[in-house]
Chain A
Amino acid sequence: MRISKKVSLVVLMMFMLSILAIGCGDTSSTGDGEKDKAGVSDKADVIKVGINAELTGAVASYGTNARDGALLAIEHINAEGGVLGQELKAIVRDCKSIPDEAMSVSASLADEGIVAQIGPLTSGNVAGSTPMVMENQIPLIAPAATADDITLERDGSAKDFIFRVCYSDSFQGKIMADFAADNLGVKNVAIYKDASSDYAQGLADYFTETFTAKGGKIIIEEGFVKGDRDFRGTLTKIRGADPDFIYIPGYYEEVAPLIKQARELGIKAPLGGPDGWDSPDLVGVVGADNLNETYFTNHYSIEDENPKVIDFVERYREKYNKDPDAFAALGYDAVLLLARGIEDAGEVDPVKIQQALEKVTNFEGVTGTMDIDKQHNPVKGVVIIESIDGKQTMNTRIQP
């Protein structure tokens, strides 16, 4: 017993030390935090940007993509001369997919002197950060938080320092409902949502509101939870209800196997979803055939001919060896928007940046050209992507 304990002790300590060595020695552009303090020679030469993202925990896969997109943007901007002649420096912290940790991270980032915070990804964690950024008067740009109330106070006015570059749930849910009712002409719809996600819940609610107002019916509403991979039980039930269309608000990790199983079970109805579907994995998992007759609302298409998009996709591929998903693109745009805000403001002052952000018009990001409206939300077009033989094609483009 004694020998065993000593052996374990030694092995585990060695492991710990090597992990520490790897983790702390990694000062590449993933920006593992505070080692910068010693390395920064002249504070005035860098603009510190805080990245508060979910790097571990339930939504880590999406949070890391958003962080990667943001870091790519920072690299890109620095390569082209930075902003106002200064380089952007990322300070990346992990909020563990928990709101109280998000608040703590915001506070420590503020202590480090950031001028703005990018992220977190989910609405709940953005809410957690909100009191800190409001108090410290630091603008927060949320890449992908879609709950309507993250930028709005209870009385309807905008929260001063919170902005986002993505759609709000009310907007996206409505667009798909319109599309289903008007373009596809369906009447009886099933909703199969991610019941563990506020994103999906919000979308389902707004979709229902708009769709029923147009005379349609939601004949069945079911739910899955994050982490599920087997949907056949519920899908069989939905198949029995014979809907004309199924709206599936959720993220691609669950949606991809879901669509596959739906098709395998013989469900031929068209399927629709939000930007959470957007991923290069979708085709890979579902299969080109199965993906026919699926539509999702998105900011852009990866096949878009827009040179900005092509450039972004290429850079992303080169740096990370894979294709970007919606979160990466939004993370990228969040930083780009920040850069625009700093330039418009003319100086590196968080309050001035916030004022500039409020007035941004015609910002050309990867995910679209947008204005920032009074509610600090982007006014930008939506594309409805249809998959035809595995290729993302633009079915409709809706301008604001």
Chain B
Amino acid sequence: MLELMQQIINGLSLGAIYALIALGYTMVYGIIKLINFAHGEVMMVGAYVGFFSISVFGSHIIVAMIFAMLACGILGVIIEKIAYRPLRGATRIAALITAIGVSLFLQYTTVFFLTPQQRIFPQAAFTSQEYIIAGLSISNKDIFIFICAVTLMTILQYIIRRTKTGKAMRAVSLDRDAAVLMGISVDRTISITFAIGSSLAAAAGIMVGIYYSTINPLMGIIPGLKAFVAAVLGGIGIVPGAMVGGFLIGILETLVSGYGNSLYRDAVVFGVLIVILLVKPTGMFGKNDSEKV
């Protein structure tokens, strides 16, 4: 029982990171029906920005996080303007390929300018502390990540549910043409969506840096894919779904490693993806959208 609790705690901080990344995926998909493959790389850029902010400018961890979030928000908007906006009317495959192209571009450019070597997140930024509570090992990092993630998600929910921008985002997701008729600036709304999603990814990147101590240019690929599975699991396009999905995938991964066979862990995650797609493709929280002929 104790071990199970430990595993769940392990899974929660991992899940928090997946959840933050998954939110970006789900928001973008909801609004322009694009799987933004480059999202994992935005996370990676956020981690690097945070790294340089801390190691070169010596900033406090929260400051670094905010700075990284701002930087990546801007990056997200730029990517949207340059790579995705011209393809608004094109086929889905074309947009998908462009997204993958952007992802590769970010990876290889980072490798080019910053070398493929990993960087160590300065320990000084966040001194870790182990607590043993009732036999369970919890680190202050776990707590920090969890609290940060939940805070950010709460803020996001507030933005979506209570602000005009959020309303615009929901409107454009639901019916873009009607939104235009209502006077909503679709371009601006989409840009804002990208900005928010990207900044969340940046926060996730910093957390990865803190938690796992190292960052490297290829760090965004696998978490990106898994976060995507999480978004699909929760219901792609549905914000609370991404949050729940992220935590679920994190816990699932940890439990598979802990109780099943760690060798097949990735296969299980993808297997879950396929099962979800076959059984309920709209995800846990999704509504069944029937197509009108």
Interface residues of A (CB under 8 A from B): 1, 4-5, 7-8, 11-12, 19, 23, 55-56, 58, 60-61, 63-65, 195, 222-225, 227-234, 236-237, 240, 253, 256-257, 260, 264-266, 281, 284-285, 287
B289 on the A face (CB < 8 A): no
Q: What are the residues of chain A within 8 A of B81 when measuring CB–CB?
A: 4, 7-8
A19 to B110, CA, bound (A): 12
Given contacts A60-B116, A195-B263, A256-B213, contact A264 B258 (CB under 8 A): no
Nearest chain B CB to A340 CB, angstrom units: 29
Q: Which residue on chain A has the smallest CB distance to residue B256?
A: A233
Contact of B262 among A1, A56, A224 (CB under 8 A): A224
Q: What are the residues of chain A within 8 A of B89 when measuring CB–CB?
A: 1
21 contacts between A and B (CB under 8 A): A4-B85, A5-B86, A8-B85, A61-B117, A225-B265, A227-B221, A229-B211, A230-B14, A232-B7, A233-B7, A234-B258, A236-B3, A237-B257, A256-B214, A257-B214, A264-B139, A281-B118, A281-B214, A284-B123, A285-B120, A285-B214
CB atoms of B86 and A240 under 8 A apart: no
Ranked 6 nearest A-B pairs via Cβ: A233-B257, A233-B254, A60-B116, A229-B212, A232-B10, A234-B257
A61 to B218, CA, bound (A): 10
B208 on the A face (CB < 8 A): yes
Contact size class for B?
A: 35 or more
A236 to B11, CA, bound (A): 12
Q: What are the residues of chain A within 8 A of B259 when measuring CB–CB?
A: 237
A233 to B253, CA, bound (A): 8
CB atoms of A265 and B137 under 8 A apart: yes
A232 to B10, CA, bound (A): 6
CB atoms of A61 and B116 under 8 A apart: yes
Nearest chain B CB to A180 CB, angstrom units: 22
A283 to B10, CA, bound (A): 24
Interface residues of B in 91-114 (CB under 8 A from A): 108-109, 111-112
A285 to B258, CA, bound (A): 24
Q: Which residue on chain B has the smallest CB distance to residue A58?
A: B218
Given contacts A1-B86, A195-B263, A281-B120, contact A236 B218 (CB under 8 A): no
B188 on the A face (CB < 8 A): no
A230 to B252, CA, bound (A): 13
A5 to B89, CA, bound (A): 12
B157 on the A face (CB < 8 A): no
B177 on the A face (CB < 8 A): no
Q: What are the residues of chain A within 8 A of B123 when measuring CB–CB?
A: 284, 287
Contact of B218 among A227, A260, A287 (CB under 8 A): A227
* Interface of chain B: mostly helix, strand, loop or mixed: helix
Nearest chain A CB to B75 CB, angstrom units: 14
Q: What are the residues of chain B within 8 A of A287 when measuring CB–CB?
A: 123
B60 on the A face (CB < 8 A): no
B83 on the A face (CB < 8 A): yes
A266 to B280, CA, bound (A): 41
A285 to B85, CA, bound (A): 41
Q: Which residue on chain A has the smallest CB distance to residue B187?
A: A4
B6 on the A face (CB < 8 A): yes
Q: What are the residues of chain A within 8 A of B109 when measuring CB–CB?
A: 19
B291 on the A face (CB < 8 A): no
A93 to B7, CA, bound (A): 45
CB atoms of A233 and B214 under 8 A apart: no
Q: 8 new A-B pairs (CB below 8 Å) besides A56-B108, A234-B258? A: A1-B85, A225-B265, A233-B255, A233-B262, A237-B3, A253-B118, A266-B132, A284-B123
Nearest chain A CB to B123 CB, angstrom units: 7
Nearest chain A CB to B38 CB, angstrom units: 14
A1 to B132, CA, bound (A): 58
Nearest chain B CB to A36 CB, angstrom units: 21
Q: Which residue on chain B has the smallest CB distance to residue A228?
A: B222
Nearest chain B CB to A102 CB, angstrom units: 17
B82 on the A face (CB < 8 A): yes
A95 to B216, CA, bound (A): 20
B175 on the A face (CB < 8 A): no
Q: Which residue on chain A has the smallest CB distance to residue B138?
A: A264
B161 on the A face (CB < 8 A): no
Q: What are the residues of chain A within 8 A of B132 when measuring CB–CB?
A: 266
